[in-house]
Structure 1
Amino acid sequence: MTAPRTVETPARVGYGALLRTPGAWTFLLPAFAARLPYAMLSLGIVLLVFDTHGSYGTAGAVAAVSAVAQAFVGPQTGRLADRYGQSAVLLPSVAVHAVSVGALIALAVGHAPVWTLFLAAAPAGASVPQIGAMVRSRWVAKLSGAQSSGAEGSPQKLNTAFAFESVTDEFTFVIGPVLATAIATAVNPSAGLIAEATLTVVGGLAFAAQRRTAPARHPLVPGAERVSALSSPGVRLLAGSFLGVGTVFGAMQVSVTAFAKAAGQPGVSGIVYGIFAGGSMLAGALYGMVAWRRPARQRMLGSYALLVLGCSTLWAMPNLTSLAVAGLICGLAIAPTLITGYTLVESLVADGAKTEAFTWLTGAIGLGLAAGSTAAGQLIDGHGASAGFVMPVAGAGLGLAALVALRRLLVPPTTASRTVARSAAPVAVTVAAPVAAPVAAPVAAPVAVTVAAPVTGQLVGASKG
């Protein structure tokens, strides 16, 4: 008689249960202070350089150099953190960042040539601590340990943790620019960058001091092959798809500002973009509380398709009210896409490359943001304010096409192997094989079967794709 098969119901984990994880608050609070400057640096550079050099083009170019340096050097910082530990990387990073930002302020205030601003902006961006990726790595270390010990709901806890981090990211990108603008306006443009550097140093050092919650180091073993996150085709695919998400962010910032100015209400642009970000925050908070039955790969395709659908209506909105509603709908798909992407990439790489993998995704968003804002600005200059909204759907559409075409790359590798010792002599293998009895006599008697098998001495591998 066949026993009834039980179907496990995914455990539903709330944020309260997640935040009660032992040691969580010891790294979450300093991490928030340290990651807030991430959203202040670019705008702070724009405000300072425009004030000293009088050109938005120059200010944007200096900020772009900082963003590109951050996008490319950040993953290398993540790789070093995986190998040598987070504290060993954070201490020199915050020092270089403070010196670079100080140099940039001095050069800008002194009306130095523009090329010198580029030289200072590059290390300022490259040395931004990758706190978001490091926090996610700490969650993985914490919750994977619970999972291996048999604690219930650990996979769902990890999904909730990534949702919490996505909401935190959105929150910092809402209040970070506001904080930078308020300080620069109330004091002077230099003060915004001074506050950014101060938060980076204080928050970064406080976060680095929490060594007990840091993930284990994975030093490079002599003679062993170096583990690289980009060696995984799935990581490269996800980075490309996050590039598309970044174009949505960049194009929305520029296009909403231009649309509001064209409508004669430039002050409303912040509210419209805030509604867009608020929709993402709301969706992210709810997404992390759902006990999902569908695999992450299917969820990624679904949320990304909804993102493309939401972006496809932006260009046709006739006024700011309808644009705010369309932006809200578009924003609802952002956080679920990011959360699922981080969940997928965690399963695609080995333990020694997780921080690096997270930073590649974060860097891809930064590159997409720079590309999206630049392209949208060109479209707006040539064809009007609404033309900039073509970029979000174009960038997201390309990302979705890549995901659909290459979705098989998002399946986590599961390879098991066995090795047979080298020998030319026959080997006796004893196998206990159950012999099924007829239906009338429901008894299974184990029978010992001895098989003489010659071993060729080759390495035999069994793999499960």
Structure 2
Amino acid sequence: MLYIVGPLLAAALAAAHSPSLALAATAVLGLAGTTVVATAPPSRQWAPAPRSPGDTPAQRLHSSGLVLLFVSLAGIGFAIGSLNVWAVAMAEAHGKDMLSGLLPAAFSTGSFLGGLLYGRRTWPGSASRQLLLGAGAFLAGWLPLLALPGPYGATAAVVVPGAFLTIMVASAYVTTDTLTPAGRTSEAYAWLILSIGVGQAAGTALAGRLAGHPLASAALPAAGAAFAVAVLLLARPRLSRCGNGTHRRLRPTRCART
């Protein structure tokens, strides 16, 4: 919901007042949200479980399957980062300031709806298989942008790849859990988020350089998604060794690290 309302609010403030006000509002809201989370009872009361004398040290986190998974997620982040800059370029090209927030909000709306549908039932196959299928659909969803649609067509088009974003992220978390030794899960999740963030930064940087070239700018999200699919295909033998990755009702079994 934040990723739906946030872009619209930022675009509205920038259009009605100034980009400086939108940036300041973003900083204030971010600080307020961080303060609420940091001071909430679950945050203040949490403490790591004490380690008993007989506990063995946690295994190393590194595995080739995890590394390839995180590299693939950088491609997903690249697509998201380039989308945000492409939205600004579309707004400038068509003289519609709200497009800079409307396009990311439409993408996030698709993610919200896709997540609701995905979470309603248990899907067959392992989480790694669902991740690969989701990445393929994510890639296919970006291809209509290569036709350089207008504002309305572009808004409708970005809903489709957005619908598969939550599916991929949820599957990536389950797959990460199955590949991670006991006691290192939080660290592995941090690397997962970092991988997406690094890709997002790279996509934003490159999209900014190519913002003046409509076709290249529109093709960048698909390029990031294609990279993710290619890496996941390479990683498939290592990821498919894991057991069932059903995300509801059954906890996935941990698989041997490779």
Normalised-by-shorter TM-score class: 0.7 to 0.9
The reply to whether residue 285 of structure 1 matches residue 119 of structure 2 is no
2:233 to 373, 387, 404: 404
**Structure 1: 5+ residue stretches without partners:** 1-170, 416-464
The residue aligned with 2:43 is 208
Q: 1:220 to 1:277 in 2, by over 3 A?
A: farther
**1:269-348 equivalences in 2 (<5 Å):** 269-348=100-179
The residue aligned with 2:249 is none
C-alpha contact (below 8 Å) 1:218/1:352 kept by paired residues: no
The residue aligned with 1:173 is 3
CA shift at 1:341, angstroms? 0.6
C-alpha contact (below 8 Å) 1:256/1:269 kept by paired residues: yes
C-alpha contact (below 8 Å) 2:76/2:196 kept by paired residues: yes
Q: Which residue identity is paired with 1:292?
A: W
CA shift at 1:308, angstroms? 0.9
Q: Could you say what secondary structure the match of 1:266 adopts?
A: coil
Q: Could you say what secondary structure the match of 1:406 adopts?
A: helix
State how far apart, in whole Å, the 2-side matches of 1:312 and 1:220 are: 56
Relative contact order (C-alpha < 8 Å, sep 6+): which is higher? 2
CA shift at 1:266, angstroms? 2.2
Q: 1:386 to 1:342 in 2, by over 3 A?
A: same
The residue aligned with 2:221 is 392
State how far apart, in whole Å, the 1-side matches of 2:142 and 2:164 are: 10
State how far apart, in whole Å, the 2-side matches of 1:218 and 1:178 are: 47
**1:204-243 equivalences in 2 (<5 Å):** 204-206=38-40, 207-211=42-46, 216=49, 227-229=59-61, 231-243=62-74
State how far apart, in whole Å, the 2-side matches of 1:218 and 1:258 are: 53
CA shift at 1:407, angstroms? 0.7
State how far apart, in whole Å, the 2-side matches of 1:258 and 1:220 are: 59
Q: Which residue identity is paired with 2:59?
A: V
Q: Which residue identity is paired with 1:175?
A: V
CA shift at 1:333, angstroms? 1.4
State how far apart, in whole Å, the 2-side matches of 1:398 and 1:190 are: 35
CA shift at 1:227, angstroms? 3.3
**1:53-452 equivalences in 2 (<5 Å):** 171-177=1-7, 190=24, 192-206=26-40, 207-211=42-46, 216=49, 227-229=59-61, 231-381=62-212, 384-410=213-239, 411-412=241-242, 414=255
Instruction: Give the number of equivalent residue pairs.
Output: 240
CA shift at 1:318, angstroms? 2.7
Kindly report the root-mean-square deviation, in angstroms, between the aligned alpha carbons of the 2 structures: 2.9
CA shift at 1:200, angstroms? 1.1
State how far apart, in whole Å, the 1-side matches of 2:51 and 2:223 are: 40
C-alpha contact (below 8 Å) 1:315/1:386 kept by paired residues: yes
State how far apart, in whole Å, the 2-side matches of 1:315 and 1:220 are: 60
Q: Identity, % of aligned pairs?
A: 30
State how far apart, in whole Å, the 2-side matches of 1:330 and 1:265 are: 23
Q: Which residue identity is paired with 2:224?
A: G
CA shift at 1:268, angstroms? 2.6
Q: 1:400 to 1:322 in 2, by over 3 A?
A: same
CA shift at 1:235, angstroms? 1.6
Q: 1:356 to 1:220 in 2, by over 3 A?
A: farther
More strand by share: 1
State how far apart, in whole Å, the 1-side matches of 2:139 and 2:80 are: 13
State how far apart, in whole Å, the 2-side matches of 1:180 and 1:380 are: 20
CA shift at 1:183, angstroms? 8.3
CA shift at 1:233, angstroms? 1.9
Q: Which residue identity is paired with 2:125?
A: R
Q: Which residue identity is paired with 2:31?
A: A
C-alpha contact (below 8 Å) 2:81/2:200 kept by paired residues: yes
C-alpha contact (below 8 Å) 1:234/1:345 kept by paired residues: no
Q: 1:259 to 1:376 in 2, by over 3 A?
A: same
CA shift at 1:216, angstroms? 3.5
State how far apart, in whole Å, the 2-side matches of 1:220 and 1:232 are: 27
Q: 1:234 to 1:255 in 2, by over 3 A?
A: same
CA shift at 1:192, angstroms? 4.2
State how far apart, in whole Å, the 1-side matches of 2:53 and 2:214 are: 52
Q: Could you say what secondary structure the match of 2:158 adopts?
A: helix
**Structure 2: 5+ residue stretches without partners:** 243-253
CA shift at 1:355, angstroms? 0.7
Q: Which residue identity is paired with 1:343?
A: V
CA shift at 1:273, angstroms? 2.0
